[in-house]
Structure 1
Amino acid sequence: MKKLITLAVLATLTSLGLKAQDNFEIGIRAGANLSTIRGEGSGSDQGFWDSEDTRSTGFTGGLYTRFGNKFFVQPELIVSQKGGTTTGLLGVERDFKQTYFDIPVLLGVKATDVVRFNAGPVATFLINEDNTFLENIGITQAEEGFRKALLGYQVGVGFDIRSIRLDMRYEGNVNDVFNIDYDDQQTENQFSGKGNSFSITAGYAF
């Protein structure tokens, strides 16, 4: 995982040398994530993943680059806080929040000089795990618990107003947030859940 992150960082930093070329942009963006996890809950505890529309609020922000004009490619290096809520057998809610390193690679099109649309895959790497949460639900340090790397997708709309960049996005996971491998398939299904989030950010193009 560290090698993948290092290669991604080096690739993005290398692109900085192209700044002098036309149709290249680099900037920063930051804002808030509203995240949750949804699962089928087919185990004995059917309500493990909270079925209510509660979302965890966290920070998201980092560096982006953009290549192109009407049609563009936008790789990013982003730090994001994501989490969710679980409900146990006795109705006890447990919240968790942890930090991820996201690498989206978005393809986009500008509808006007101001409005643009973008979508693409995102690789997500866990860099700060909520171990207290794992202990509270009975997962020991010897077990994997949260998955260390996730694959997902992002879709959204953006607005370019001079040097200001505003973005609204939805992100979904392809694989489960937990990496549980129990002999009991019913118990394993209980913990199956995929994350999703909405984010709103403001940025600045240099």
Structure 2
Amino acid sequence: MKRIFFIFSLVLCSVIGHAQPIFDLGLKAGLNNSKVSLDINDYSEESITKMHWGAFARVGVGKVYVQPEVYFTRKGGEFKDVGEMAAEFNYKSVDVPVLLGVKLLDAKAVDLRVMAGPVFSFVTDNDADKFNFLEEQYFKDRYTALQYGVGVDVLFLSLDFRMEHANKVYNSPELEAKNRTFMVTLGFKIL
């Protein structure tokens, strides 16, 4: 058993020793296409498009990396009742994703990546007071979500396409709401 552990340790050190370290730091901005889904039948939901901006880091070895980020974003959705009266709900948050990624193509000028991981969202503002069927005390001031997607790096530019599925952002005894967001982000590597 000790020999197997010793051989495994030598092989692992050899692989890590030959792998190139990854360290990137940059700024990013992009568009969100967000939709808040309600669990009642009286309203239909429509998506809205908002923006996000922030910073990212990428740290890893070889083709595997961890990508923590922080960005400021606006999300929400549009609701239509049976009378076709539209109302738009927006909220602002600070999102902190921690993504695990793998480079599928690792060339000198172009990298193709896949990534997934949790997102921790901290709501800073919402416009719930505009709706007679939503009560502000039931909006969560923080929630978690799951993000996954693909990305491509060309020289110092980084382009990501991601989906985000959030847990409940609103939870009252009568109503639950969840957020789903598609994101397109362009990043600029500083380091």
TM category (shorter chain) comes to: 0.7 to 0.9
Matches within 5 A, 1:88-167: 88-113=81-106, 114-130=111-127, 133-139=128-134, 143-167=136-160
- 1:73 aligned to which of 66, 71, 87: 66
The answer to whether 1:87 aligns with 2:80 is yes
SS of aligned partner of 2:123: strand
TM-score (normalised: structure 2): 0.80
1:72 offset after TM fit, Å? Answer: 0.3
Select the structure with the greater relative contact order (CA < 8 A; seq sep ≥ 6): 1
In the alignment, is the contact (CA less than 8 A) between 2:73 and 2:95 conserved in 1? yes
**Code of the aligned partner of 1:192:** E
Q: How many residues align?
A: 166
Matches within 5 A, 1:1-206: 22-41=21-40, 46-48=41-43, 50-51=44-45, 54-68=46-60, 69-113=62-106, 114-130=111-127, 133-139=128-134, 143-174=136-167, 176-180=168-172, 182=173, 188=174, 191-206=175-190
Tell me how far apart the structure 2 counterparts of residues 157 and 71 of structure 1 sit (CA, whole Å).
14
Show structure 1 runs of 5+ residues with no match.
1-21, 183-187
Tell me how far apart the structure 1 counterparts of residues 81 and 165 of structure 2 sit (CA, whole Å).
24
Runs of 4+ in 1 over 6 A off after TM superposition: none
Tell me how far apart the structure 1 counterparts of residues 159 and 133 of structure 2 sit (CA, whole Å).
41
In the alignment, is the contact (CA less than 8 A) between 1:56 and 1:97 conserved in 2? no
TM-score (normalised: structure 1): 0.75
CA RMSD, 1 decimal: 1.8
More strand by share: 2
Tell me how far apart the structure 2 counterparts of residues 137 and 70 of structure 1 sit (CA, whole Å).
51
Tell me how far apart the structure 1 counterparts of residues 49 and 134 of structure 2 sit (CA, whole Å).
24
Identity over aligned residues, as a percent? Answer: 32
Output one character per residue of 1:12-70: Cα deviation in whole Å (capped at 9) or x when no partner. xxxxxxxxxx42111011010000012331xxxx133x24xx31111111010111140
SS of aligned partner of 1:124: strand
